[in-house]
Chain A
Amino acid sequence: MSVLATVKTVIDTEGTARHNLLPVLTSLRSKLGSLSPEILKNVSQIMDIPMAHVYGTATFYSFLETKPMGKNVIRLCRTISCDMHGKRDVLNALEDVLAVKNGETTTDGLFTLTETNCLGHCHEGPVMLVNDEVFSSLKPENIPAIIDEIRKKR
Chain B
Amino acid sequence: MSEDKINKMQEKINLIFSDCEVCEVVSQALAEDPEQILKMLLVSSLRGRGGAGFPTSLKWKFARQAPGDRKFVIVNADEGEPGTFKDREILEKVPYKVFAGMAICAHTIGAREGFIYLRGEYNYMRKTLEEQIQDFHNKIAGKLDFVIKIVSGAGAYVCGEETALIESMEGKRGEPRNKPPYPVTAGYLGCPTVVNNVETLVYVTMIMKMGPQHFASLGTQHSRGAKVFSISGDTPIPGIYELELGMSLAEFVELFGDGDTKAVQVGGAGGFCVPRKKFTETIIGFEGVPTGGSMMLFNSTRSMYNVLHNYLDFFCEESCGQCTPCRVGCQQLRKGIEEVKNHSLKPVHLDVLKKMTDTMRYASKCGLGQSVPNSFNSIIDNFREEIIF
Given contacts A118-B82, A120-B121, contact A53 B172 (CB under 8 A): yes
Chain B residues with a Cβ under 8 A of chain A? 79-85, 87-88, 119-124, 151-157, 168-175, 189, 230-234, 238-240, 296, 298, 302, 306-307, 310-311, 313-314, 317-318, 320
Do residues A123 and B232 form an inter-chain contact, with CB atoms below 8 A? yes
Bound CA–CA A73/B268 (angstroms): 26
Given contacts A20-B171, A79-B83, A84-B234, contact A60 B124 (CB under 8 A): no
Cβ distance B333 to chain A, nearest Cβ, rounded Å: 16
Chain A residues closer than 8 Å to B306, beta-carbon distance: 80, 83
Cβ distance B368 to chain A, nearest Cβ, rounded Å: 13
CB pairs A–B below 8 angstroms (28 shown): A17-B171, A18-B170, A18-B171, A25-B154, A53-B172, A56-B173, A57-B171, A60-B173, A60-B175, A61-B120, A61-B154, A63-B154, A78-B310, A79-B310, A79-B314, A80-B83, A81-B233, A117-B157, A118-B80, A118-B82, A118-B83, A120-B88, A122-B83, A122-B232, A123-B238, A123-B240, A124-B238, A132-B123
Bound CA–CA A61/B238 (angstroms): 30
Do residues A26 and B296 form an inter-chain contact, with CB atoms below 8 A? no
Do residues B85 and A117 form an inter-chain contact, with CB atoms below 8 A? no
Do residues B152 and A23 form an inter-chain contact, with CB atoms below 8 A? yes
A45, CB-defined interface residue at 8 Å: no
Bound CA–CA A122/B306 (angstroms): 17
Do residues B157 and A19 form an inter-chain contact, with CB atoms below 8 A? no
Bound CA–CA A103/B114 (angstroms): 38
Do residues A84 and B84 form an inter-chain contact, with CB atoms below 8 A? no
Of the candidates B87, B156, B233, the one whose C-beta lies within 8 Å of that of A61 is B156
A22, CB-defined interface residue at 8 Å: yes
Do residues B233 and A84 form an inter-chain contact, with CB atoms below 8 A? yes
A7, CB-defined interface residue at 8 Å: no
Bound CA–CA A26/B152 (angstroms): 8
Chain A residues closer than 8 Å to B238, beta-carbon distance: 122-124
A107, CB-defined interface residue at 8 Å: no
Chain B residues closer than 8 Å to A79, beta-carbon distance: 82-83, 310, 314
Cβ distance A19 to chain B, nearest Cβ, rounded Å: 5
Chain B residues closer than 8 Å to A129, beta-carbon distance: 121
Cβ distance B133 to chain A, nearest Cβ, rounded Å: 16
Do residues A62 and B124 form an inter-chain contact, with CB atoms below 8 A? no
Chain A's closest residue to B232 (CB) is: A122
Do residues B85 and A120 form an inter-chain contact, with CB atoms below 8 A? yes
A133, CB-defined interface residue at 8 Å: yes
Do residues A78 and B174 form an inter-chain contact, with CB atoms below 8 A? no
Bound CA–CA A22/B159 (angstroms): 13
Chain B residues closer than 8 Å to A80, beta-carbon distance: 82-83, 233, 296, 306-307, 310-311
Cβ distance A89 to chain B, nearest Cβ, rounded Å: 15
A119, CB-defined interface residue at 8 Å: yes
Do residues A117 and B314 form an inter-chain contact, with CB atoms below 8 A? yes
Chain A residues closer than 8 Å to B320, beta-carbon distance: 60
Given contacts A79-B83, A80-B296, A120-B122, contact A60 B234 (CB under 8 A): no
Cβ distance B281 to chain A, nearest Cβ, rounded Å: 25
Chain B residues closer than 8 Å to A117, beta-carbon distance: 80, 82, 157, 314, 317-318
Do residues A81 and B122 form an inter-chain contact, with CB atoms below 8 A? no
17 more CB-based (< 8 A) A-B contacts, given A25-B154, A61-B120, A62-B156: A18-B171, A19-B171, A22-B154, A22-B168, A23-B151, A61-B155, A80-B310, A81-B296, A83-B310, A117-B314, A118-B82, A118-B83, A121-B88, A122-B232, A123-B231, A123-B239, A132-B123
Do residues A62 and B152 form an inter-chain contact, with CB atoms below 8 A? no
Do residues A62 and B83 form an inter-chain contact, with CB atoms below 8 A? no
Chain B's closest residue to A129 (CB) is: B121
A9, CB-defined interface residue at 8 Å: no
Chain A's closest residue to B153 (CB) is: A61
Do residues A120 and B240 form an inter-chain contact, with CB atoms below 8 A? no
Chain B residues closer than 8 Å to A91, beta-carbon distance: none
Chain B's closest residue to A116 (CB) is: B155
Chain A's closest residue to B310 (CB) is: A80
Bound CA–CA A57/B232 (angstroms): 33
Interface 1/0 per residue, A9-48 and B, CB below 8 Å? 0000000011111110110010000000000000000000
Chain A residues closer than 8 Å to B310, beta-carbon distance: 78-80, 83
Chain A residues closer than 8 Å to B318, beta-carbon distance: 117
Do residues B232 and A119 form an inter-chain contact, with CB atoms below 8 A? no
